[in-house]
Amino acid sequence: MAEGISYREAGVDLDAADRAKARLKKLVDATRDTNTLSELGSFGGLYAVPEGLRAPVLVASADGVGTKLKVAIRAGRCDTVGRDLVNHCVNDILVHGARPLFFLDYLAVGELDERVVTEVVAGVACGCRENGCALLGGETAQMPDFYALGEYDLAGFVVGVVERDRVLDGSAVREGDHLIALASTGLHTNGYTLARRIVFDQLGLGPDDPFPETGRSVAEELLAPHRSYLELLLPLLAQGRVHALAHVTGGGIPGNLPRVLPEGMGAVIERTSWRLPDVFRALQRAGGVPRDEMDRVFNMGVGMIAIVSRSEGDAVLAALAASGETAWVLGQVEPGSGVRYA
């Protein structure tokens, strides 16, 4: 009888997976808090709802890093995309007023590279520590028939909590409210399919080449981490100063700001209120991309928009400035629908 084929010969290395899990335990344990009730390796993660909440509402979100992963793989850097993932998901629940409790990650690889897995999860754990949430568990899947050699995919799932009477749902937004823009740190995690086409295909640049007009390398510019706005905004949320928040992700300002405006309300954006960051100016020029297409694809330097009353505008800007934040009045709420630029 012919000798049977092993799982490893079929493309899945269980021993490598076990070694990787052993290294990940310290990373995961470093994110534990008093409400974490399970250990890495459990079939499910256990987390106690924090005490002292009157009417807690759980808020959950799931997302990925998109084709930014292609840049990370090409540059041979896997230590930043985990932070991107956590920060993106945390921002998505922050817009409802929630703070994160715990996080789960899903990493799928073609062939398990222990270094890559460790670096990716280290980034996830770092993001969790920075945002004060526990990395409760996750999954690392070896799928050699789905992913090419060296490629991987990454997704994350966050659960947070907010008091019921503190939930942000846009209902408090009124005509004349100010739109306060909070600066992004670059592309964050959106628009990379277009950016990669421009940078790698049209300009013919590599990860270590200078990125036009920015003074940084392509890898430094395109792998700049997606920032979290949690620590910055929690005090303003606790003070009840914010009527709504919009996380500017895929779809840009026109695709995300209307999601938090009540029916019958639109917004006007003042283009002259900020200078377009160099990375977006360079992409627009090199790719010959029309401005309205840029607006729909990229965040254009605005990572989060806080909607506050006109009377609170100056105080909110002063509080943000005191925290070292770059913020400005981007525009205001007006009757209508959608977003228009002036």
Q: How far apart are CA 298 and CA 321, in angstroms?
A: 25
Class of domain 7-166: alpha beta
Q: What is the mean pLDDT of residues 171-177?
A: 97
Q: What is the CA radius of gyration of the chain?
A: 22
Q: What is the pLDDT of residue 328?
A: 97
Phi-psi region of 135 (alpha: psi -120 to 50; beta: other; left: phi over 0): beta
Residues 6+ apart with CB under 8 A from 325: 182, 183, 232
Is the distance from CB of 291 to CB of 254 less than 8 angstroms? no
Q: How far apart are CA 170 and CA 244, in angstroms?
A: 5
Q: Is 130 exposed, middle or buried (0-12, 13-18, 19+ CB in 10 A)?
A: middle
Q: How far apart are CA 333 and CA 329, in angstroms?
A: 11
Q: What is the pLDDT of residue 26?
A: 85
Task: pLDDT band for 2, please (50, 70, 90 cuts).
Answer: low
DSSP line for 224-271: PPPPP-HHHHHHHHHTT--SEEEE--TTHHHHHGGGGSPTTEEEEE-G
In tens, the pLDDT along 180-237 reads: 999 999 999 999 999 999 999 999 999 999 999 999 999 999 999 999 999 999 999 9
The per-residue pLDDT of the chain, averaged, comes to 94
Q: Enter the pTM of the model.
A: 0.94
In tens, the pLDDT along 273-308 reads: 999 999 999 999 999 999 999 999 999 999 999 999
Is the distance from CB of 62 to CB of 157 less than 8 angstroms? yes
Residue found under tokens 């990650």:
105
Q: How far apart are CA 180 and CA 233, in angstroms?
A: 12
Of 229, 211, 212, 228, nearest to 220 by C-alpha is 211
CA angle 256, 187, 61 (to 5 degrees): 50
CB count in 10 Å sphere of residue 273: 14
The yes-or-no verdict on residue 1 having pLDDT over 60 is no
Mode of pairing for the β-strands spanning 178-183 and 327-335: antiparallel
Q: What is the pLDDT of residue 319?
A: 95
In tens, the pLDDT along 50-86 reads: 999 999 999 999 999 999 999 999 999 999 999 999 9
Of 262, 261, 298, 305, nearest to 281 by C-alpha is 298
Q: How far is CA 326 from CA 77, 90, 109, 179, 342, in A?
A: 28, 20, 38, 14, 22
Residue found under tokens 């959608």:
338
For residue 187, what are its two tokens? 């592309």
Task: Quote the CATH superfamily of domain 178-341.
Answer: PurM-like C-terminal domain (3.90.650.10)
Q: What is the pLDDT of residue 266?
A: 97
Q: How far apart are CA 70 and CA 148, in angstroms?
A: 12
Q: What is the pLDDT of residue 166?
A: 96
Residue spans of the domains in the chain: they are 7-166, 178-341
Of 109, 124, 113, 111, nearest to 79 by C-alpha is 124
Residue type, 271: R
In tens, the pLDDT along 7-43 reads: 887 788 878 888 878 888 888 899 999 999 998 888 9
Is the distance from CB of 305 to CB of 243 less than 8 angstroms? no
Q: How far apart are CA 211 and CA 283, in angstroms?
A: 10
The yes-or-no verdict on residue 152 having pLDDT over 80 is yes
Q: What is the pLDDT of residue 16?
A: 81
In tens, the pLDDT along 89-106 reads: 999 999 999 999 999 999
Of 231, 210, 57, nearest to 130 by C-alpha is 231
Q: What is the pLDDT of residue 342?
A: 94
- Enumerate helices (H) and strands (E) in the chain, giving the number of each: 12, 10
Q: How far apart are CA 147 and CA 125, in angstroms?
A: 24
